[in-house]
Structure 1
Amino acid sequence: MIEPGIIQLTRFIPHPPEKVWAALTDPVIHARWWAAGDIRAVVGHTFTLDMGQWGQQPCEVIAAEAPKLLSYSFAPGTLNTTITWRLTPEGDGTRLSLEHKGFDMDSPLGKTAFNGMGNGWPGVLTRLSEVVA
């Protein structure tokens, strides 16, 4: 059972974890599939992601273990959510899991963000897969 306020998606990407990891942690590649920002896989690193019409969203890396795990706070002070990426080797490729949690389903902003991102994340993962290829 998935608890309310959590988005969970999994994708198989037919490339090794190191290549997927680069897409998640290299700012130039990251900007090609999701958002521009100075992302780095260093615990404590703060950065912003340019979310276009939704503005600059602050983030802070809370866990990083190359090429297995990357987790960061997303929009602390407004959404107060956490995005976690897990990479698991599978054959010649990678099983990529996304968990975006912490949405306040009792607030209008939390509900709107949850619905918007729930609908948007599948397309973002498709773009990530295309960029890795």
Structure 2
Amino acid sequence: MGTSTEPGTVRLERLLPGPIERVWAYLTESDKRATWFASGAFDLRVGGKADLHFDHSNISSEKTPDEYKSKKSDWSETITRVEPPRLLSYTFGPAGPESEVTFELEPRGRDVLLVITHRRVVDRKTMVNVAGGWDAHVGILADRLNGVEPRPFWTTHARLKGEYEVRL
């Protein structure tokens, strides 16, 4: 489970099977990222574009709930930091105009510690949604990296949102 380390910030840690280059590829390569989060080209330099095209049918067999069907599913963000294969940050407009998400990777033997820190989230409701979303997406990433059938995204997201509603 993620935590709120300060107002407007959510932090999530997960140990994933490595090596680090493989996890980095799942963060930065569109075809791999599409299997757990969103596709889209990344220009991996500070100031480069990070296009995100969400199609949840790629990550889970569950149908999208009505409340999310009308939500915008394409964003163009800006890369703010990049240090391959250990750190990637980019803006994340859906969580607020100044919002930024950072992915940090640290080798731990054969595994890799992934730390996601999402800063400057606009309000508590968005924090609950963001925390549940990252937690559900990273769960699917872990499933993909472990070579198992991915868990259902929307059911997992709804359960986690409920837990974060109490926790944050």
Q: 1:93 to 1:131 in 2, by over 3 A?
A: same
Is 1:91 equivalent to 2:109 in the alignment?
yes
Q: Which amino acid aligns with 2:7?
A: P
CA shift, 1:5, in A, is 0.9
Instruction: Tell me which stretches of 4 or more aligned residues in structure 1 moved more than 3 Å.
Output: 76-79
| Runs (5+) with no aligned partner, structure 1 | 106-110
Larger strand share, 1 or 2: 1
Q: Once the two structures are superposed, what CA deviation does each residue of 1:84-108 show, in whole Å capped at 9, x if it has no partner?
A: 0000010111011000111123xxx
- Among candidates 16, 26, 30, match of residue 29 of structure 2: 26
Matching residue of 1:41: 44
Q: Once the two structures are superposed, what CA deviation does each residue of 1:31-82 show, in whole Å capped at 9, x if it has no partner?
A: 1100121124222211321246333222111111111100111118954210
Matching residue of 1:9: 12
CA contact (8 A) 1:27 1:40 kept: no
Matching residue of 1:128: 141
Q: Which amino acid aligns with 2:103?
A: W
CA contact (8 A) 1:75 1:81 kept: yes
Relative to structure 2, which stretch is displaced further, 41-50 or 15-24? Answer: 41-50
TM-score of the superposed pair, with normalisation by structure 1: 0.85
Equivalent pairs, count: 128
CA distance in structure 2 between the partners assigned to 1:26 and 1:50 by the alignment:
13
TM-score of the superposed pair, with normalisation by structure 2: 0.69
Q: Which amino acid aligns with 2:81?
A: A
CA contact (8 A) 1:25 1:40 kept: no
Across the aligned residues of Structure 1 and Structure 2, the Cα RMSD in angstroms comes to 2.0
Q: Considering only CA atoms, is the larger Rg found in Structure 1 or Structure 2?
A: 2
State the percentage of identical aligned residues: 29
SS in structure 1 opposite 2:42?
coil
Matching residue of 2:120: 102
